[in-house]
Structure 1
Amino acid sequence: MSSLISISKRNIISSLFIFSFFGHLKIRLGDIKLATNNFSDTYTIAFLDGECTLYRAELHYFDKENPSSEKGKNKGDHPKGHNIVVIKRGNQFFGEEELFTEIEMLSSVEYPNIVTLIGFCIEDSETILVIENGSNGYLRNYLGNDNDMRILTWEKRLKICIDVANALDHLHSEIEDQKMIIHRDICSCNIGLDENWRAKIDGFGDCVFLPPNQEDEAVYINPHGRPAYIDPEYEKTDKLKRESDVYSFGIVLLEILCGRSAGDPIYLKENDKGLGPVARQSFCTGTLEDMIDPILKEETSECNFVQKRGPNKESLHTFMKIAYQCVAETQDQRPTMKVVVKELEKALSFQVSQRSKPLIFFIHMQNAC
């Protein structure tokens, strides 16, 4: 009973804190219902593992960049402004506590590869977060769909990976006052893609803030994460470190390489933890290349002298090696995100440097004739 009371008190304190400091971001439920036609399926864009439903809609909301425009309005009214946004509506597994964590996190950290918070709604038992629109959806929606995966050339996939890696490096080591943030739920469901295919991390409801001067310290907290992405050492010992995010990101790298989600039945047949252990074993036996997305293999084998879309050998091997290192079984065997960023940028440079070689070869052959 006492634990329930303490949880209740904490929620009340959190509510007061949120409304005191972030009240200007509050959006009325009526406005959200109007924008989505009462949460109509027409506006639904995704279901995130039963935790929340995502809607894309044109919302009239308070313009925080121009607060003076609120003059003359009734109290609580939002000025008219047309904006396409993503509305993240939680269910019983996404409550106020997760919402408060996301608001605190997204309000304190601004970064090009982290989603921007627009507003929130806590009303009539609804917990809703409103974030910027990623017009190209979420990475998870592309995996396993051949038509969609064809859009993601190897170079584009590398750039998406680098975007996410930079965001994680920022969270792990570059926050003001040396405070670190561990995301704790890195997965393809939480990687949005904007109109320019820039990747942005979302889903901060379970993130953990670490105080300054704890760079190499662990936090002992009940394991959280999706089965196919969770750090095995964290799952066994409750020891959460930055390297736990590195493992989850390594799984995302493997998903992008293989073109399938980590929990695809094809991997679960071999191991109940999905893609990670299967790919790790394949790397050790030298057969990981057999698992890569067939679309990438097609693009590599195309006789296209103008543009080589698929991965070249150096780029592919650099990528596979760093992905393997990220999903090492123990935390101390994994690289930091700074190292990961460096290796992914190296893989991209190999790819870009090879881009014009087929054309040069073609011109040379024409001249020789």
Structure 2
Amino acid sequence: MALGNNLEHLKIRLDDIKLATHNFSNAYKTGTNDWYTWYEAELNHFDKENPSFVERKSKSKQSNRHTLVVMKRFLSKDDELGEELFFTELEVLTSIKHHNIVTLIGFCVEGFEMVLVTEKFSNRSLWDYLGNVNDMHILTWEKRLKICIDIAQALIYLHNEMEDKKMIIHGLIESARFGMDENWVAKIEDFEFAVFLPPNQKDEALCERAKFKSKYHLDPEYAKTGKLKRESDVYSFGVVMLEILCGRYADDQIYLNKSEEGLVHVARGNFCNGTIEDMIDPTLKEETGKMSYISNRGANNHSLHTFLKVANQCVAKTKDQRPTMTVVLSELEKAFIFQVS
């Protein structure tokens, strides 16, 4: 794929990246999967008008601006899938700008190397909090609602508010895809499996890249038909909402002991028999009496039931039964108002 001149200002030299990571040293590595490896490092912040750090080293009088960043080092350019994923995410991140979506700092394509450089969040990802009682205790109900509202706003932007009526389906919504800054503002990241639909195209894409880390977030209609739709993101987001509510991963053993389909299947059963509140994260239910909650930590009843209702709608088995993200956001904002008032 040829890179247009309009991306020149985002190019980062491989020498600068190697310098920042000590030649991709394991000391800077923070994770790896089948498609890329993550590094965190302090990188010199420069643009087209400024020489690179390597070229400036001898000019000790010059002041250097440093930025803590995340680097995603993709599979070699010899690997067709790795190259496809890299350029997909690059295209998405250079096409969008939203306060609830990760910011692209720059990229590098040199030799066999392909690296994306994005902002580093000062807080941990939602994934890091789930499943840990001590960590989830930090996330009050109000914070959890705000996180869901942030994510919903980003998905509405991708689904409905792109320029020129374009649309992006994220295609890989999981709790691991949401970073948070120091103010607990949530942002979506990792767009390598996104689908970019041009104007006037039918609201779906035939896509066989169901590469979910967890099958428990995967839209069953997408898995069955291979057709990725906006409603597929809605389903996956509904699973994340249930994880946030319960304080556990969708594939937590407590759910797998009851159903091989995990959290969603167990939650559906509890909705039907009226015992869904038994699944709520105990840290949200500091009970002072039957069905009452501490206001500064637990969930207001009206807020909780509004959230539960829309989460259940999101994980409906068929797309026709699911709400749009605009409706989801409206219900989440209603739940937030119940909570704070």
TM-score (norm 2): 0.88
2:10 matches 1:25: yes
Aligned 8 A contact 2:16 2:52 in 1:
no
Counterpart for residue 88 of structure 1? 72
Aligned 8 A contact 1:184 1:225 in 2:
no
Report the alpha carbon displacement of residue 159 of structure 1 after superposing the two structures with TM: 0.2
2:185 matches 1:201: no
CA distance in 2, matches of 1:90, 1:71: 22
Alignment equivalent of 2:147, drawn from 141, 160, 170: 160
Report the alpha carbon displacement of residue 219 of structure 1 after superposing the two structures with TM: 2.1
Q: Which runs of 5+ in 2 are unaligned?
A: none
Counterpart for residue 220 of structure 1? 206
Report the alpha carbon displacement of residue 146 of structure 1 after superposing the two structures with TM: 1.5
Alignment equivalent of 2:23, drawn from 18, 38, 43: 38
CA distance in 2, matches of 1:313, 1:198: 24
Alignment equivalent of 2:250, drawn from 262, 265, 274: 262
The number of residue pairs the alignment matches comes to: 330
Alignment equivalent of 1:129, drawn from 116, 121, 125: 116
Residues 260-279 of structure 1 show CA distances to partners (whole Å, capped at 9, x for unaligned) of 11122222333333222221
Counterparts of residues 136-215 of structure 1 (less than 5 Å): 136-214=123-201
AA of the residue aligned to 2:312: Y
CA distance in 1, matches of 2:69, 2:42: 6
AA of the residue aligned to 1:32: I
For the structure 1 residues 338 and 41, does the alpha-carbon distance in structure 2 shift closer, same or farther, using more than 3 Å as the test? same
For the structure 1 residues 301 and 54, does the alpha-carbon distance in structure 2 shift closer, same or farther, using more than 3 Å as the test? farther
Alignment equivalent of 1:291, drawn from 258, 279, 300: 279
Secondary structure of the 1:343 match is helix
2:47 matches 1:58: no
Counterpart for residue 338 of structure 2? 350
2:262 matches 1:274: yes
Aligned 8 A contact 1:190 1:201 in 2:
yes
Query: Runs ≥4 in structure 1, deviation > 4 angstroms?
Result: 71-75, 91-94, 299-302, 304-307
2:242 matches 1:248: no
For the structure 1 residues 324 and 258, does the alpha-carbon distance in structure 2 shift closer, same or farther, using more than 3 Å as the test? same
CA distance in 2, matches of 1:313, 1:175: 36
Report the alpha carbon displacement of residue 189 of structure 1 after superposing the two structures with TM: 1.0
CA distance in 1, matches of 2:190, 2:151: 13
AA of the residue aligned to 1:217: D
CA distance in 1, matches of 2:20, 2:64: 12
Counterpart for residue 68 of structure 1? 49
Q: Mean alpha-carbon deviation: is it higher for 122-131 or for 319-328? A: 122-131
Report the alpha carbon displacement of residue 280 of structure 1 after superposing the two structures with TM: 1.8
Report the alpha carbon displacement of residue 20 of structure 1 after superposing the two structures with TM: 4.1
- Larger Rg over CA atoms: 1
CA distance in 2, matches of 1:231, 1:48: 25
Counterpart for residue 91 of structure 2? 104
AA of the residue aligned to 1:55: Y
Report the alpha carbon displacement of residue 139 of structure 1 after superposing the two structures with TM: 0.9
CA distance in 2, matches of 1:262, 1:60: 39
Aligned 8 A contact 1:312 1:350 in 2:
yes
AA of the residue aligned to 1:200: K
Residues 202-240 of structure 1 show CA distances to partners (whole Å, capped at 9, x for unaligned) of 1111111112234x6322221514211110011111122
2:300 matches 1:319: no
Report the alpha carbon displacement of residue 293 of structure 1 after superposing the two structures with TM: 1.1
CA distance in 2, matches of 1:345, 1:319: 9
Aligned 8 A contact 2:13 2:52 in 1:
no
AA of the residue aligned to 1:122: V
Q: Which runs of 5+ in 1 are unaligned?
A: 1-13, 354-369
Counterpart for residue 103 of structure 2? 116
CA distance in 1, matches of 2:230, 2:261: 21
Aligned 8 A contact 2:35 2:82 in 1:
no
CA distance in 2, matches of 1:298, 1:48: 38
